[in-house]
Amino acid sequence: MMYKIINVKGYESILIKGTNTSIHGRIGVRYQQFVEDIYTHGLGIVEGADYVGVTTYTEARKAEYPPIVDQLDKIYHNGIDAWKADIKVIKDKYPKTQVGITSIAPIPDWVHTALFDKQKEKYVEAKARLEKYELANGLKGVIRTERVWDDKSESYIDRDIIGYVIEPLPIWIDGERNPLVVQDETEREAAQEIINKTPRAVIDSINN
């Protein structure tokens, strides 16, 4: 899906290209989908707003005229009439009455901020996911405390007994890999991929 920023008298909205649908405001399901899309596909799916830059027709023509070397080459190989035809296309494109040229503005800062915030959100979620224990390994911890004799202190002390707080799930069930283990591994791989592709600036903003 492609998006286009629309600017009307300073108010910006998001047009979903190829449709008549616009996103107004930075809330709601459609806006959240827009943010998800730029997170997944990058800012290349967003086009800045149109704007008319004030310039003279001579400046506009000059910017599009081919280099002199290319023009002379055109005359040499194709003749003066062919060269005139190319030049006329540019002159017709920018008539003497023209005072402005429609261009594409840069993507506004708030779009970059929305992407940055989404990257932070996804990174934090991925880190939290990886901090959970692996189902195939279970979770160990203190399961009880025992009173034991300590020769060094010549007294009874409390000693923590470590064991499985949560037992590991079997990796195989009836000759097939346990679907719960497979799902756990898949989610962990996806979380690691998110962490790997998160820009350093985003990570630093969280750590700092």
Determine, yes or no, domain membership for 58: yes
| Residues 62 and 2 placed together within one structural domain of the fold | no
Q: Which residues does 150 contact at the CB level (< 8 Å), separation at least 6?
A: 156, 157
| Residues 69 and 27 placed together within one structural domain of the fold | no
| Residues 41 and 70 placed together within one structural domain of the fold | no
Give pLDDT < 50 ranges for the chain: none
pLDDT of the residue at 103: 80
| Residues 133 and 194 placed together within one structural domain of the fold | yes
Determine, yes or no, domain membership for 115: no
Q: Taking a C-beta distance cutoff of 8 angstroms, is the pair 12, 111 a contact?
A: no
Give how many domains the chain has, as a whole number: 3
pLDDT of the residue at 97: 73
User: Which among 159, 155, 164 has a CA at the least distance from the CA of 145?
Assistant: 159
| Residues 34 and 68 placed together within one structural domain of the fold | no
**pTM for the full model?**
0.71
Q: Which of 31, 49, 67 is the last residue of a domain?
A: 49
Domain that holds residue 73: 54-99
Determine, yes or no, domain membership for 200: yes
Task: Give the DSSP letter string of 80-127.
Answer: HHHHHHHHHHHHHHS-TT--EEEEEPPPPHHHHHHHHHHHHHHHHHHH
pLDDT of the residue at 96: 82
User: Which among 38, 8, 39 has a CA at the least distance from the CA of 24?
Assistant: 8
DSSP label at residue 160: E
Determine, yes or no, domain membership for 107: no
| Residues 155 and 195 placed together within one structural domain of the fold | yes
Q: Are strands 172-173 and 100-104 parallel, antiparallel or unpaired?
A: unpaired
Q: Which residues does 41 contact at the CB level (< 8 Å), separation at least 6?
A: none
| Residues 36 and 67 placed together within one structural domain of the fold | no
Which residue's entry shows tokens 């503005």? 105
Cα separation of 34 and 21, whole Å?
12
Cross-strand pairs, 126: none
| Residues 25 and 40 placed together within one structural domain of the fold | yes
The token duo for 111 is 């779009």
pLDDT of the residue at 93: 87
| Residues 60 and 45 placed together within one structural domain of the fold | no
| Residues 192 and 143 placed together within one structural domain of the fold | yes
Determine, yes or no, domain membership for 79: yes
Determine, yes or no, domain membership for 136: yes
| Residues 200 and 146 placed together within one structural domain of the fold | yes
One-letter amino acid for residue 178 of the chain:
N
| Residues 90 and 145 placed together within one structural domain of the fold | no
Q: Which of 33, 49, 65 is the last residue of a domain?
A: 49
Determine, yes or no, domain membership for 118: no
The token duo for 195 is 């962490």
Determine, yes or no, domain membership for 120: no
